[in-house]
Amino acid sequence: MSLIPNSWEIASLVCKLFLYFGAASIVGGSLCLYLYNDGTRRTVLGNIRYITLGAFVGFQGALFNFFIQIGMVMGSGIPGMFDWGMASIFLDTQLGDTTFFRLAGFVLVFVAGLFYLHRLATMDRPPTQAFYKLLNTINLVAFLLIVFSFRFSGHVSVLSPIAKLAIALHFFAFAAWIGALIPLHRLTYVDNLDFLQRSMKRFGDNAIVIVLVLIIAGVLMLLELFHSLAEIFTTPYGIALLVKLLLVTGILAIAAINKFRLTPAIQSERGVLVLRRSIAIESIVAVLILIVTSYFSTIVGPADHQM
């Protein structure tokens, strides 16, 4: 496979980005709804809308990726994407199983989100924390369906059970981190600076656990995907992974600045503004990481696991 993607591969890459954004919004949005919520209607509505929108975007990514794979096989342009004879064949393959679990997960979140938005519109007072327990449970089940779909797809499907577990933990931890950035950025507009500071400190403390999971899972993945250190520097997959690691190092540095320097400085509007800008920069780096991840999971793959 060429390192320069063709139009079909670019379309598939965009679908993967939509999928990652959808999954991240479910985990990160639910996390913020549960842990970093000031209880105001504005914050609650913002988080649930974010989760619901993410589910919609993720659904589109999973659905169109299915038809794009058909179009790639048919080789007859866009009309070939909708060859129902080939689609019926694909439904009985691993791609069909993958698509089913992903669509089921995103539909579950989307329907639950619409229901809760309707409930909130009819409530006279802000809901209690117990109001979100069922929603977060539904979102967790849906995310597990999405994670389960990866066992059928790409080079992941041929990895060992330990490697698959490592990838699932890695995916969950990173989704929780980057998925929380948009709600946290929105949280910097609250009037209660004490609440904002407590929330950012709590997120910083929780992020330590997330980083540990990312590191442990990442090491297990590297041991499975690469047989020697040289492969990291000599294979397209390894080089793409190095770029991702460089970006991850950057986002870790930004997170450390937020935790140890900017969060304690939340005493004035200026301190909040600096933190807001830092979270925006962190979000941009997170998008770059998603793009690189989509690239090496779609365009290239480990030398021994390409499918």
113-133: b or e for each residue (b if 16 or more CB lie within 10 Å)? beebeeeeeeeeeeeeeeebe
195 is a domain residue: yes
Q: Which of 47-51, 94-98, 222-226, 291-295 has the lowest mean pLDDT?
A: 222-226
Distance CA 219, CA 102 (A): 27
Report which of 21, 35, 26, 29 is spatially closest to residue 203, judged by C-alpha positions: 35
pLDDT in tens, 276-287: 999 999 999 999
Please, what is the average pLDDT of the chain? 87
List Cβ neighbours of 278 (8 Å cut-off, separation of 6 or more): 254, 257, 258, 262
Q: Which of 142-156, 182-196, 197-211, 261-275 has the lowest mean pLDDT?
A: 142-156
Contact 252, 289 (CB under 8 A): no
Q: Could you give the residue ranges of the DSSP H alpha helices within 122-235?
A: 133-149, 161-179, 181-187, 193-225, 230-234
Query: What pLDDT, on the 0 to 100 scale, is given for residue 165?
Result: 82
Query: What pLDDT, on the 0 to 100 scale, is given for residue 219?
Result: 82
Query: What pLDDT, on the 0 to 100 scale, is given for residue 156?
Result: 58
1 is a domain residue: no
**Number of structural domains the chain divides into:** 1
pLDDT at 306 over 80: no
| Mean predicted confidence (pLDDT) in 192-221 | 89
List Cβ neighbours of 238 (8 Å cut-off, separation of 6 or more): 226, 231, 232
Query: What pLDDT, on the 0 to 100 scale, is given for residue 176?
Result: 93
Distance CA 75, CA 22 (A): 29
DSSP H or E run through 86: helix 84-90
| Mean predicted confidence (pLDDT) in 280-295 | 91
> How big is the chain, counted in residues?
307
Give the DSSP per-residue string, 240-293. Answer: HHHHHHHHHHHHHHHHHHIIIIITTTTTSHHHHHHHHHHHHHHHHHHHHHHHHH
Enter the DSSP assignment of 128.
P
Report which of 141, 104, 115, 121 is spatially closest to residue 30, judged by C-alpha positions: 141
Checking 206-210 for CB contacts under 8 A at 24+ apart, the result is: 206/35, 207/177, 207/255, 207/259, 210/173, 210/174, 210/176, 210/177
Taking CA atoms, 10 is separated from 7, 21, 22, 58, 185, in Å, by 5, 17, 18, 17, 30
State pTM to two decimals.
0.89
307 is a domain residue: no
| Mean predicted confidence (pLDDT) in 129-157 | 82
Query: What pLDDT, on the 0 to 100 scale, is given for residue 307?
Result: 33
Taking CA atoms, 305 is separated from 48, 155, 157, in Å, by 38, 5, 9
147 is a domain residue: yes
Query: What pLDDT, on the 0 to 100 scale, is given for residue 205?
Result: 92
304 is a domain residue: no
98 is a domain residue: yes
Contact 180, 33 (CB under 8 A): no
* Domain membership of residue 273 as a residue range: 7-298
Angle at the Cα of 113 from the Cα atoms of 112 and 114, rounded to 5 degrees: 95
High-pLDDT (> 90) share of the chain, %: 50
47 is a domain residue: yes
CATH number, position 269: 1.20.1630
Confidence of residue 300 (pLDDT cuts 50, 70, 90): low
Query: What pLDDT, on the 0 to 100 scale, is given for residue 40?
Result: 85
